[in-house]
Structure 1
Amino acid sequence: MQRSLLVKNIGELTTFDSRSESMRVFKDVEMIISDGVIQEIGKDLYSSEFDIIDAENRLVTPGFVDPHTHPVFFDTRETEYEMRIMGKSYMEIAAAGGGIRSSVRSLRSADMNILNKRVKQRLDDFLQFGTTTIEAKSGYGLSPESELMSLRLLKELGENHPLDIVRTFLGAHEYPDEYRDDHEAYIDLIIEKMLPVIARDDLAEFCDVFCEEGVFSVKETRLVLEAAKFLGLGLRFHTEEFKPIGGVQLAAKLGAVSADHLTAITDEGIEALVEGNIIPILLPATTFFLGSDNYAPGRKMWDRGLPVALATDFNPGSSMTQSMPLVISIACLKLKLTPLEALQAATYHAAKSLLHDDRCGSLEKGKQADFVIWRFDRYQGIPYFLAYPSVQSVWKKGVRVWEMK
């Protein structure tokens, strides 16, 4: 049996605390870990029975939970980045055959061995930024074969990777080229050929739809998500990114867990989130990457009592970053969240959005020992050291899975 661990010399331990239902900053505490689970946090816990992890008076926080990522793609899209800089919009690039459909074409023709290696490397790369749990979507196949392959790849890699990977089916990410003029047939394909296999083979916990003008309408979204809900999948929404078309109101009616993006949400939409008990997942790195100044109203949502979560939206077209510290920096500067609020949004609220807050998202007795030791001693350093290599080491279930060399 593995010896228990004691994390000592913690300068500051910053985490959500369920007892007080708030973020807490603990000074000079220690943490006992047994079998990958936190047993106790307190003072003067040393015993010769423990193996020691010396935090060297540094900051310790929960590992980040990134609740919106798209890691299964083949090629990157640097040329589109340049096109945006030269004045093309995201939607203009998509309408011309770029965007998501470009990634679909490259994924469908991908060499599977190379794809496997690339996705595995991306999963590895999350660790260096302090992320220990991710939500990962399909959505770049848009055919039964490619969508099921994407989810099976995530399942296979997740079985042997330190990251916890929560899988989401996003077959309704876009209409593929062969169904551009026959939306009804593609929706039938999702409902009849994809969703039943996904539910039967336990390939995903959630189903997501890109509910946006020019992609899936509110009516089309309802058809897909009602079928997913009937099969027992949780519901998530890409919506209100470009225009308020009623996606948030539909999310509330269907009992969705989260609504993501929300840069174009109205006050009525915010009230729908409140009434539907929906977690808003905000993606400020996407807004930054697209060169927009239209950030989601994170401050207004927080003040309305919503459990705002943050995510990278890691994807090849509109947010080529895996850095939750960068997301926190942008959230503080542009969404006007405080550093402590942004940390809560990137850990505890993010875990709640995945229905995994019973096991991760905070450092508390009985939860997984997923934590980060930083290179500084105060939580304010996370947004302050902008795009800086700030992580000293990352621990998953009490095992070190990444360390600064």
Structure 2
Amino acid sequence: MKADILLTDCRLATMVAGGEAYGAIEDGALLIADGQILWAGPRSELPAHEAAETEQLGGRWVTPGLIDCHTHLVFGGDRSGEFEQRLNGATYEEIARAGGGIVSTMAATRAASEDELYASAVARLEGLKATGVTTVEIKSGYGLDHDSELKMLRVARRIGREAGVRVRTSYLGLHAVPPEHRPQRAAYVDKAVDDFLPAAAAEGLVDAVDAYCEPIAFSGEEVSRLFEKARALGLPVKLHADQLSDGGGAALAAKYGALSADHVEHTSEGGVQAMAAAGVVAVLLPGAFLMLRETTPPPVDMFRRHAVDMAVATDCNPGTSPVASMTAAINLACVQFRLTPEEALAGATRHAAKALGLSDEIGTIEAGKAADLAVWDVTRPAELAYWLGKPLLARRMLGGAWS
């Protein structure tokens, strides 16, 4: 067995389901060839091999590279000023009337060049990479016109080529209605469905299609139009669902065989059952829950009871979740939603991979998967959920290369 790298003197949290907690191997070894895991297991069972390079990891824990499966990483400007205004007593309505909220992000995103959007997104990405992230999903949804939506997706693709991380893109076609279209809402939906999406897909910019289904956003009927177009283009879908109310978003996601339903704080048991039957992942977003000071957590016990996989993500965005740390998201998922540390780490690895349709490629440490790894200065995997703000990452590998 010929390998490029042998990693040894390490403990593996393989995150393979069905065995030891965390899929743990206390004295492990890894053989890596051509950017993939060739073999992983106990060092005592290491097969005969020829490795061009051997590295000892000093007994450190190794996990799959973490996966942030829900972000809005690309946007112009920020809304820290609005954050300060709210804490000084201004209401969301007052801020919105003054041109704030998503309108301010839309304006800044439209005004920014691709290079400017790339530079600001990569700066935020550094926080994710420093907390073990090797794959990130990036949505459009702040441009809200043809050119700006495609611009955002082009920047996301560039990040995947140049910034040392795997990227999956989502066209968030129905996120908000831009001010110029408020009197003609239906006309905007027509453009988002029949113009923006086909153009982005034709340019190869779209891996999945997303929408925001909520009374303050878009209806089930409007979302269905978008999802039917996605289906015609052969693209998978996902949905911001039941964040502020039970609007049947989870059931709608299940109807279309969505990869995931995200937020899901107000999902009913019927919605949970529909997700379970369709294999839809519940993506939990504790950063937004924290920043919005919500009080109704997702129905985690129901997800457990109906065997719905739960992913965890940062929801990194300028308005409701300015979170650029994956380990912080893991901690908040445990503290706020009562996930166990093992559930939260599975949510940032194995289940996050499923939420992106990438279970065959990433998310666990096993033969045939990409050699995307995170090496940690911890004594047990639970520390990844325990510490808030402490640097824990020792090294990070993407496709068999340290980065």
TM tier, shorter chain?
over 0.9
Match status 1:4 vs 2:4: yes
Contact map agreement 2:114 2:152 (CA 8 A) in 1: no
Contact map agreement 1:284 1:296 (CA 8 A) in 2: no
Tell me which residue corresponds to 1:129.
131
Alpha-carbon offset, residue 167 of structure 1: 0.5
Over 3 Å counting, the alpha-carbon distance change for 1:333 and 1:120 in structure 2 is closer
C-alpha distance in structure 2 between counterparts of 1:107 and 1:358, whole Å:
34
Aligned residues: 399
Cα RMSD of the aligned pairs, angstroms, is 2.1
Tell me which residue corresponds to 1:58.
60
Q: Secondary structure at the match of 2:51?
A: coil
C-alpha distance in structure 2 between counterparts of 1:145 and 1:31, whole Å:
45
C-alpha distance in structure 2 between counterparts of 1:90 and 1:209, whole Å:
22
* Structure 2 counterparts to residues 47-196 of structure 1, below 5 A: 49-86=51-88, 97-196=99-198
* Equivalent position to 1:359, from 358, 361, 383: 361
Tell me which residue corresponds to 1:37.
36
Tell me which residue corresponds to 2:229.
227
Alpha-carbon offset, residue 295 of structure 1: 2.1
C-alpha distance in structure 1 between counterparts of 2:118 and 2:65, whole Å:
25
C-alpha distance in structure 2 between counterparts of 1:324 and 1:349, whole Å:
14
Contact map agreement 2:17 2:23 (CA 8 A) in 1: no
* Equivalent position to 1:296, from 284, 298, 301: 298
Contact map agreement 2:15 2:23 (CA 8 A) in 1: yes
Tell me which residue corresponds to 1:13.
12
Between 1:177-186 and 1:14-23, the stretch displaced more is: 14-23
Amino acid at match of 1:347: T
Alpha-carbon offset, residue 282 of structure 1: 0.7
Q: Secondary structure at the match of 2:365?
A: coil
Alpha-carbon offset, residue 86 of structure 1: 4.4
* Equivalent position to 1:216, from 215, 218, 226: 218
Contact map agreement 2:67 2:136 (CA 8 A) in 1: yes
Over 3 Å counting, the alpha-carbon distance change for 1:302 and 1:94 in structure 2 is farther
Contact map agreement 2:175 2:211 (CA 8 A) in 1: yes
C-alpha distance in structure 2 between counterparts of 1:292 and 1:88, whole Å:
18
Amino acid at match of 2:259: V
Between 1:73-82 and 1:153-162, the stretch displaced more is: 153-162
Q: Secondary structure at the match of 2:342?
A: helix
Alpha-carbon offset, residue 172 of structure 1: 1.1
* Equivalent position to 1:237, from 211, 236, 239: 239
C-alpha distance in structure 1 between counterparts of 2:86 and 2:144, whole Å:
25
Tell me which residue corresponds to 1:309.
311
Unaligned runs of 5+ in 2: none
C-alpha distance in structure 2 between counterparts of 1:299 and 1:75, whole Å:
38
Alpha-carbon offset, residue 221 of structure 1: 1.1
C-alpha distance in structure 1 between counterparts of 2:313 and 2:250, whole Å:
18
Amino acid at match of 1:252: A
C-alpha distance in structure 2 between counterparts of 1:35 and 1:251, whole Å:
37
Tell me which residue corresponds to 1:252.
254
* Length-normalised TM-score, structure 2: 0.93
Tell me which residue corresponds to 2:326.
324
Over 3 Å counting, the alpha-carbon distance change for 1:350 and 1:58 in structure 2 is same
C-alpha distance in structure 2 between counterparts of 1:351 and 1:261, whole Å:
17
Amino acid at match of 1:55: L
Alpha-carbon offset, residue 92 of structure 1: 7.4
Alpha-carbon offset, residue 16 of structure 1: 2.2
Unaligned runs of 5+ in 1: none
Alpha-carbon offset, residue 270 of structure 1: 1.6
Between 1:207-216 and 1:114-123, the stretch displaced more is: 114-123
Over 3 Å counting, the alpha-carbon distance change for 1:133 and 1:241 in structure 2 is same
Amino acid at match of 1:269: G
Contact map agreement 1:299 1:337 (CA 8 A) in 2: no
Q: Percent identity?
A: 35
Q: Secondary structure at the match of 2:162?
A: coil
Q: Secondary structure at the match of 2:70?
A: strand
Amino acid at match of 2:33: S
Alpha-carbon offset, residue 21 of structure 1: 10
Contact map agreement 1:173 1:209 (CA 8 A) in 2: yes
CA deviations on 1:351-393 (whole Å, 9 max, x unpaired) are 0111111110010001111111111121011111222111111
Over 3 Å counting, the alpha-carbon distance change for 1:313 and 1:89 in structure 2 is farther
